[in-house]
Amino acid sequence: MKKRIFAANWKMHLGPGGARRFLDAFLQEYRPSSDREVWFFPSAVALEAVVERVRDHSGLKAGVQNVYWESKGAFTGELSVPMAREAGAVAALVGHSERRHVFGETDEDTARKAKALIAAGLTPLLCVGEKIEEREAGKTLSVVERQLGALDDLGCDALAGLTVAYEPVWAIGTGRTATPSDAAEVHAAIRAWFGGRGVPAAEVRVLYGGSVNVDNVGALVSEPEIDGVLVGGASLDPATWLRIAQAGGD
Strands 206-209 and 163-166 turn out to be parallel
Question: How far apart are the two ends of the chain, measured CA to CA in Å?
Answer: 15
Identify whether 96 is a catalytic site residue: yes
Residue in 96, 98, 130, 225 annotated catalytic: 96
Residue in 105, 130, 167, 225 annotated catalytic: 167
- Decide: 206 and 166 in contact? Cβ < 8 Å: yes
Rounded-to-integer distance, Cα 86 and Cα 83, Å: 5
Helix runs in 9-106, H state only: 16-29, 47-54, 81-86, 97-101
* Cα dist from 55 to 61, 87, 193, whole Å: 8, 12, 35
Residue type, 52: E
Rounded-to-integer distance, Cα 35 and Cα 48, Å: 26
Identify whether 167 is a catalytic site residue: yes
Query: Per DSSP, which regions of 42-89 are E strands?
Result: 60-64
Q: What region does 20 belong to: left with phi over 0, alpha with psi -120 to 50, or beta?
A: alpha
Counting beta carbons within 10 angstroms of the beta carbon of residue 24, is it exposed (0 to 12), middle (13 to 18) or buried (19 or more)? exposed
- Positions marked catalytic: 96, 167
